[in-house]
Chains A and B, each alone.
Chain A
Amino acid sequence: MSADDRSSYAARQAQLLDALLRGGAPPAGFAAAEADAAGRSLRRKRDRAVARAWPALALQLGEEYEARFDAFARVVDAPASGDPLADGLAFARSLGRDVRLGDDARAELLLARAAIRRRGLFVRAAWLRGRRPRLLVVARLPRAGPLHVSVPAGARGRDGGGASC
């Protein structure tokens, strides 16, 4: 099989894949309903993996989770590594100010950022004001795994220190 044959085959596969990932119209000759079902199935598989890696975020979004993730997945590819933690981080960031993250989701976000960080020092703190107000400090030291410490609020009231991403 010549290089030309392979490259024409590659182009046709890339066209189909693009349509499935974006949820766009499939290339000529494909049944639109079949391509739509296949594309949804790819995005659904991805959203389930992210929901498992980001349970607090998925729980907070509740019934909106699937539609929001689908909208995100149509425009942003999964990371090449396929890592659902990194995929979920990109998703969480894409929500921006649209969604005000609750304490559990903010804690999850900080821990994910520390876990994904491969090099250098990472230290962040978030002030969680739920039923049990506390200061969460998450760190990753060079050549070590992520660490986190949760300090109960006590009597001191404080504002700010939210997780940034």
Chain B
Amino acid sequence: MNDTHVTWQLGRGVGWRPQLDGAIARARGLGFIEVIAEAIGEHGLPAGVAAARQRGLQVVPHGVSLSLGGAERPDRRRLGHLASVAERVEAPLVSEHIAFVRAGGRESGHLLPVPRTREALEILAENVALAQEALPVPLALEHVAALVQWPGAEMDEATFVRELVERTGALLLLDVSNLFANAHNHGYDARDALERLPLERIAYVHVGGGRFRAGVYHDTHADPVVAGVLRLVEELLALTDVPGVLLERDDDFPPEAALAAELRAIAHAARRGRERRVRG
């Protein structure tokens, strides 16, 4: 057990991508960026990331390939790389997913959900503990948006996530868009799930864009943030304060002004929630 407490304030953030380098360099009011650990080489840092560090922004490495929810133990080389990136950017923490990305020697190319069972929880907890031992900083775990669900679930997602972070002492990377997607696609109440998640363990929050196609919400990170997600940001901040909120955009990059407007919309939603909480 490695019970970590959040000691950082990150503020507003954007997921750093090469295509957003200029927009991030000129954005006002940013406190942090996130870098995809696998996109960073074995040595050094991309110039834009190094420049962000110099400007005083904090950098959080975000892993996408550990496959902590997979049947195999996390690969030492991948863990070593994540640890090395964390050291190079002097990260306060790193984050990864509650998901599997490979099985039977094949790569999925994206994050896939795990069964919400005691058995899966056991394997995940072991894998997370191995990762925590290999990492120089605390680990936050992100729940994923899942279009497909495993049969035989023994608990709901909020309970599963709570049990996992309580058992491992890991922190929670709460992705409001993933929560919105799962609640919409699998028919449950997002606000209710929010209240039952371990909000006291939030390391920071993700917000991403998406779109509805044939009634299904797709967490694309290639579209603007939808109104329902902004409302959920407000609901979250009405329940608790969070150390940071970060916008993820991975494709169909918007003009700089649109990105800035999106960051403002998220900040406004957060402020509305905070004001409701303070007023009581």
> When each residue 70-85 of chain B gets 1 if its CB lies under 8 Å from chain A and 0 otherwise, what string results?
1110000000000000
CB-based contact A48/B108 at 8 Å = no
Which residues of the partner chain B approach A34 to less than 8 Å between Cβ atoms? Answer: 147-149
CB-based contact A7/B71 at 8 Å = yes
Of the listed stretches B53-61, B90-98, B120-128, B259-267, chain A binds B120-128
CB-based contact A18/B107 at 8 Å = no
Q: How far is the CB of A134 from chain B (nearest CB, A)?
A: 31
Known A10-B72, A38-B148, A82-B107: A16·B123 in contact at CB below 8 Å:
no
CB-based contact A45/B110 at 8 Å = yes
Interface of B is mostly: mixed
CB-based contact B148/A14 at 8 Å = no
Q: How far is the CB of A37 from chain B (nearest CB, A)?
A: 5
CB-based contact A31/B103 at 8 Å = no
Q: How far is the CB of A152 from chain B (nearest CB, A)?
A: 33
Among residues of A, the one whose C-beta sits closest to the C-beta of B73 is: A6
| A to B contact number (C-beta, < 8 Å) | 87
CB-based contact A5/B148 at 8 Å = no
Interface of A is mostly: helix
CB-based contact B126/A1 at 8 Å = yes
B108's partner among A7, A17, A29 (CB-CB below 8 A) is A17
The yes or no answer to A111 lying at the interface (CB within 8 A) is: no
The yes or no answer to A26 lying at the interface (CB within 8 A) is: yes
| A4-48 with Cβ < 8 A to chain B | 5-7, 9-14, 16-18, 20-21, 26, 28-31, 34-35, 37-38, 41-42, 45-46, 48
CB-based contact B112/A29 at 8 Å = no
> When each residue 98-125 of chain B gets 1 if its CB lies under 8 Å from chain A and 0 otherwise, what string results?
0010111011111010010001101100
Complex Cα–Cα for A11 and B119 (A): 14
Known A14-B106, A42-B108: A37·B216 in contact at CB below 8 Å:
yes
The yes or no answer to A75 lying at the interface (CB within 8 A) is: no
Which residues of the partner chain A approach B108 to less than 8 Å between Cβ atoms? Answer: 17, 20-21, 42
The yes or no answer to B218 lying at the interface (CB within 8 A) is: yes
Which residues of the partner chain A approach B41 to less than 8 Å between Cβ atoms? Answer: none
The yes or no answer to B151 lying at the interface (CB within 8 A) is: yes
CB-based contact A14/B120 at 8 Å = no
The yes or no answer to A104 lying at the interface (CB within 8 A) is: no
CB-based contact B104/A78 at 8 Å = no
Which residues of the partner chain B approach A46 to less than 8 Å between Cβ atoms? Answer: 109
B: number of interface residues (CB 8 Å): 29
B104's partner among A6, A17, A31 (CB-CB below 8 A) is A17
CB-based contact A20/B148 at 8 Å = yes
Which residues of the partner chain A approach B154 to less than 8 Å between Cβ atoms? Answer: none
Known A7-B71, A78-B109: A38·B146 in contact at CB below 8 Å:
yes
Known A9-B71, A9-B119: A41·B110 in contact at CB below 8 Å:
yes
B71's partner among A10, A21, A35 (CB-CB below 8 A) is A10
Complex Cα–Cα for A154 and B107 (A): 49
Complex Cα–Cα for A21 and B218 (A): 18
Q: How far is the CB of A11 from chain B (nearest CB, A)?
A: 8
The yes or no answer to B251 lying at the interface (CB within 8 A) is: yes
The yes or no answer to B255 lying at the interface (CB within 8 A) is: no
CB-based contact A77/B107 at 8 Å = yes
Among residues of A, the one whose C-beta sits closest to the C-beta of B152 is: A29
CB-based contact A18/B110 at 8 Å = no
Which residues of the partner chain A approach B120 to less than 8 Å between Cβ atoms? Answer: 9
Q: How far is the CB of B150 from chain A (nearest CB, A)?
A: 7
Known A14-B103, A78-B107: A6·B71 in contact at CB below 8 Å:
yes
Chain B residues close to A by CB (< 8 Å): 70-72, 100, 102-104, 106-110, 112, 115, 119-120, 122-123, 126, 146-152, 216, 218, 251
In the assembled complex, 30 residue pairs joining A and B whose CB atoms fall closer than 8 Å, in A order, are: A1-B123, A6-B72, A7-B71, A9-B71, A9-B120, A9-B123, A10-B72, A10-B103, A11-B104, A12-B115, A13-B103, A14-B104, A14-B106, A16-B112, A16-B150, A17-B108, A18-B104, A28-B151, A29-B151, A30-B148, A30-B149, A34-B148, A37-B147, A38-B112, A38-B147, A41-B110, A42-B109, A42-B110, A80-B107, A82-B109
